[in-house]
Every structure is written in C-alpha cells, then in structure tokens.
C-alpha cells in the first residue's frame, strides 16, 4: 500500500520537478503562471496535467495545437515515481522516508538542470545542505548532527582540493588563474551529498 501511495506521490512530485527543471534556470517563478503549451500558449487543464497518463492518452501531443510534447516529461514523472516507491519499500519508516523523498527530488531536479544548462543552481544545493542538516538535527537520520556537519565539510573540502589540484594539472602544472572542469557549484554539491552522507549506508 505504502509503495503504491509513494508511486502516485512521486509522479505528482515529478510533474512539479518538470516545472522546476524548466523554469528555475530561466528565472521564472515555479508556482506562477500556470503551465502552458510552449508552442501555442494554451493553458493546460487539469485533465492534461495528470502525470504520465495525460501524455500517453494524448499520444505525446498538445491537445490544442497537436505539437509534439517531449517524452522527457512523462519520463521524469515515471523516474520520480519509481524511486519514491523503491525508497518506500527499502525504508518504510517515518519521518525518515520524507527526507529520502526530498533528497531524491532534489537530485533529479539537479541532474536534469545540469544536463540542460551545465549549471547546478545554488538555491537547490543550499536547500539540500539545509535539509540534510535538518534531518540530522531533528531526527538523527540519515546520520547524527555532528556527523552531518563533518561529512558535509569534508565533502566540500575534498572537492575544493581536487578542484585546485585538477586546475593545476589542467594548466599543465603552471600556476596561475584557475581553469578547469571544476566550479564552486560542485563544492556546494559535495557539501550537500556529504550532509546526507550516511544515507547510502543506512538505506
Ligand atoms: Zn499547443
């Protein structure tokens, strides 16, 4: 039962993540205005907003203008739904599960925004760090608070070190202005994953 509930909840959250993935990097509010077809501007009705099913029933096309709708929308919804259900099966404990779901949602949003824009918005990174510390502080899950602070700082520190060292190698061991594949956003991401570090061990 819990897994079925988790699947439905996950598909709804996935639908919201589609909005976040599209709007957050563009600097548009994620709650307003209502979702529209990007081709014809037709405002989507409730029957067109049912996760996964609307896309399937409409044959992947806008109801109004018949323009194709990317299969990525139902894919993100299905992925979120499946991961939510899997988490519910692996750890059917509250409030732990709420934190796992939040972490899954954050990672999906970050992954797709990274694919689209090659950036990791700090608003999501810092929300993740905060949630990780909050979970640790309030319920001691996935690890206790001192551990969460420790591993968060260690994750950030390690990536910062690798960034410095990687930059040095990238510049063929000449010191100078740092260039390379690492950015500060990766340090933030590492801090977030670190703050959640115990999860992999406990799930
Ligand atoms: Zn349309």
pLDDT for 189 beyond 90 = no
* pLDDT at position 203: 43
- DSSP label at residue 142: S
pLDDT for 201 beyond 70 = no
Q: What is the pLDDT of residues 114-133, one digit of tens each?
A: 889 988 888 888 888 888 88
Mean pLDDT over residues 42-57, rounded? 95
pLDDT for 179 beyond 80 = no
Q: For every residue of 54-95, which 3-state class applies, written as one string?
A: HHHHCCCECCCCCCECCCHHHHHHHHHHHHHHHHHHHCCCCC
* Distance of CA 58 from the midpoint of ligand 1 (Å): 12
User: Cis before residue 32, ω within 30 degrees of 0?
Assistant: no
* pLDDT at position 53: 96
* Distance of CA 34 from the midpoint of ligand 1 (Å): 14
User: Cis before residue 33, ω within 30 degrees of 0?
Assistant: yes
* Distance of CA 84 from the midpoint of ligand 1 (Å): 30
* Distance of CA 118 from the midpoint of ligand 1 (Å): 28
pLDDT for 178 beyond 80 = no
Q: How far apart are CA 61 and CA 64, in angstroms?
A: 9
* 176 — pLDDT class (breaks 50, 70, 90): low
* Distance of CA 35 from the midpoint of ligand 1 (Å): 11
- Residue (of 59, 64, 1, 6) closest to 35 by Cα position: 64
* CA 16 to each of CA 11, 23, 24, 51, 93: distance values in angstroms, whole numbers, following the listed order: 9, 11, 12, 10, 24
Q: What is the pLDDT of residues 73-110, one digit of tens each?
A: 999 999 999 999 999 999 899 888 998 999 899 999 99
* pLDDT at position 2: 94
**Ion ligand 1 residues within 5 Å by Cβ:** 37, 39-40, 42, 62, 64-65, 67
* Distance of CA 77 from the midpoint of ligand 1 (Å): 20
* Distance of CA 79 from the midpoint of ligand 1 (Å): 25
- Residue (of 203, 198, 159, 199) closest to 182 by Cα position: 159
Q: What percent of the chain has pLDDT over 70?
A: 91
* pLDDT at position 202: 46
| Phi, psi dihedral angles at 36 (to 5 degrees) | -125, 160
Q: What is the pLDDT of residues 51-66, one digit of tens each?
A: 999 999 999 999 999 9
Q: For every residue of 146-177, which 3-state class applies, written as one string?
A: HHHHHHHHHHHHHHHHHHHHHHHHHCCCCCCC
């Amino acid at each position: 039962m819990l897994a079925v509930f988790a699947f439905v909840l996950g598909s709804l959250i996935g639908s919201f993540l589609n909005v976040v993935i599209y709007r957050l990097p563009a600097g548009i509010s994620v709650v307003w205005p209502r979702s529209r077809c990007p081709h014809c501007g037709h405002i989507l009705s409730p029957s067109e907003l049912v996760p996964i099913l609307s896309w399937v029933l409409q044959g992947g096309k806008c109801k109004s203008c018949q323009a194709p709708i990317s299969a990525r929308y139902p894919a993100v919804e299905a992925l979120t739904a499946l991961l939510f259900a899997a988490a519910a099966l692996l750890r059917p404990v509250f409030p732990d599960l709420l934190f796992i779901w939040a972490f899954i949602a954050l990672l999906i949003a970050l992954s797709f925004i990274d694919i689209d824009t090659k950036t990791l918005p700090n608003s999501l990174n810092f929300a993740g760090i905060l949630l990780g510390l909050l979970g640790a502080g309030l319920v001691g899950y996935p690890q206790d608070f001192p551990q969460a602070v420790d591993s968060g700082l260690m994750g950030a520190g390690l990536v910062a070190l690798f960034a410095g060292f990687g930059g040095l190698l990238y510049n063929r061991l000449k010191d100078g202005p740092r260039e390379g594949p690492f950015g500060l956003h990766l340090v933030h991401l590492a801090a977030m994953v670190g703050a959640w570090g115990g999860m992999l061990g406990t799930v």
